[in-house]
């Protein structure tokens, strides 16, 4: 049994992870952490009856008490870096779905993994359908170099654009390079109307109640368009990927970025 700690237990994603880990026969839920904890039993939090696992509010204390092998983190961009470092310093392998980490921070964490000889997996998205959407978009860019991305999330998401949108643009750029799109004399009458830009790819972020996580990649060609869209209508869609990552992270070599590398 792989001993798992869940960080961000009170969040919507955190609760789904608690349920998924609790149900899996190869994983053992040994600890949970949330800064807003009132020290309730995890079973009361997810409706499965008493488990004996209490939600703590200090990651280091919970690690000391529960001795996990893997930490799953779905917290927020301001907390995730510190959480990962605490895990690595204690020989715990992080599985991270929190987005908002910069490229420099990921490089720093990769070096930290090497120094501590501890593995980690960070992924912008744990939905297998979303991974396929990114891969198909990368392939399509060979034939349709003109593309824009629209990502739509719930209005409590803190970072924009999403990690998935950024990763999609990076993968597309690997195939087509930089391409200036649109009319060269284009003017934004309202700043930001054309969205953000990465390698010439415009990315538009929508934040509204009612959404979970959605993205469409729209390609334009001569007399035609191609749209590749993925919708997560429930946070359960991420759980098979999270559970797989918990089982695989112990056998990786250092830091791996992207769930696609373990599928």
124 DSSP assignment: S
What pLDDT is stored for residue 172 in this prediction? Answer: 97
- For the chain, the domain total comes to 2
Whether residue 15 sits in one domain with residue 143 = no
Q: What is the largest CA-CA distance in the chain?
A: 64
What pLDDT is stored for residue 249 in this prediction? Answer: 98
What pLDDT is stored for residue 99 in this prediction? Answer: 84
Q: What is the mean pLDDT of residues 55-78?
A: 96
- Please name the residue ranges forming H helices in 26-162: 42-46, 59-66, 77-89, 103-116, 128-140
Q: What is the mean pLDDT of residues 58-80?
A: 96
CA distance 144 to 95: 34
Strands in 55-56's sheet, in edge-to-edge order, are 55-56, 27-33, 2-7, 70-73, 93-96, 120-122, 255-257
Identify the CATH number of the domain in which residue 108 sits: 3.40.50.720
CA distance 197 to 61: 42
Whether residue 98 sits in one domain with residue 9 = yes
Write down the catalytic residue from 114, 142, 146, 157: 157
Whether residue 118 sits in one domain with residue 71 = yes
What pLDDT is stored for residue 231 in this prediction? Answer: 97
81-139 pLDDT, tens per residue? 999 999 999 999 999 999 888 989 999 999 999 999 999 999 989 999 999 999 999 99
Whether residue 68 sits in one domain with residue 39 = yes
Whether residue 115 sits in one domain with residue 188 = no
Whether residue 118 sits in one domain with residue 6 = yes
Q: Is 247 a catalytic residue?
A: no
Whether residue 110 sits in one domain with residue 81 = yes
Whether residue 240 sits in one domain with residue 158 = no
Whether residue 117 sits in one domain with residue 168 = no
- Residue-range definition of the domain harbouring residue 164: 128-232
- Chain-centroid distance, C-alpha 110: 17
137-190 pLDDT, tens per residue? 999 999 999 999 999 999 999 899 999 999 999 999 999 999 999 899 999 999
Whether residue 214 sits in one domain with residue 118 = no
- Percent of the chain at pLDDT exceeding 90: 94
* pTM listed for this prediction: 0.84
What pLDDT is stored for residue 100 in this prediction? Answer: 83
Whether residue 21 sits in one domain with residue 87 = yes
Identify the CATH number of the domain in which residue 213 sits: 3.30.360.10
The answer to whether 93 and 118 have CB atoms below 8 angstroms apart is yes
180-217 pLDDT, tens per residue? 998 999 999 999 999 999 999 999 999 999 999 999 99
Write down the catalytic residue from 19, 153, 202, 204: 153
What pLDDT is stored for residue 109 in this prediction? Answer: 97
Q: Is 114 a catalytic residue?
A: no
The four Cα atoms 181, 187, 193, 197 give a dihedral, to 10 degrees, of 40
Whether residue 168 sits in one domain with residue 198 = yes
What pLDDT is stored for residue 83 in this prediction? Answer: 97
- Beta strands per DSSP E along the chain: 2-7, 27-33, 55-56, 70-73, 93-96, 120-122, 146-153, 196-198, 201-207, 213-221, 224-232, 255-257
263 pLDDT above the threshold of 90: no
């Amino acid at each position: 049994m792989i001993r798992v700690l869940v960080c961000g237990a009170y969040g919507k994603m955190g609760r789904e992870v608690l349920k998924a880990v609790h149900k899996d026969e190869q994983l053992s839920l040994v600890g949970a952490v949330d800064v807003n904890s009132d020290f309730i039993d995890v079973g009361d939090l997810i409706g499965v009856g008493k488990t004996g696992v209490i939600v703590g509010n200090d990651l280091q204390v919970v690690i000391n008490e529960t001795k996990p092998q893997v930490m799953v983190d779905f917290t927020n961009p301001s907390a995730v870096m510190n959480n990962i470092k605490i895990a690595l310093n204690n020989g715990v392998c992080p599985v991270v779905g929190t987005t908002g980490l910069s490229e420099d921070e990921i490089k720093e964490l990769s070096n930290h993994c090497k120094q501590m000889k501890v593995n980690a997996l960070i992924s912008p998205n744990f939905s297998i359908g979303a991974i396929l959407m990114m891969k198909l978009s990368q392939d399509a860019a060979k034939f349709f170099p003109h593309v824009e991305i629209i990502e739509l999330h719930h209005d409590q998401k803190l970072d924009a654009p999403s990690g998935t949108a950024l990763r999609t643009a990076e993968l597309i750029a690997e195939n087509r390079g930089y391409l200036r799109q649109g009319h060269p004399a284009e003017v934004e009458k309202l700043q930001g109307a054309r969205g953000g830009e990465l390698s010439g790819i415009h990315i538009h972020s929508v934040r509204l109640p009612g959404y979970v996580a959605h993205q469409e990649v729209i390609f334009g060609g001569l007399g035609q368009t191609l749209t590749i869209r993925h919708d997560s209508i429930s946070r359960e869609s991420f759980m098979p990927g999270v559970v797989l990552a918990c089982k695989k992270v112990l056998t990786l070599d250092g830091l791996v970025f992207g769930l696609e590398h373990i599928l």
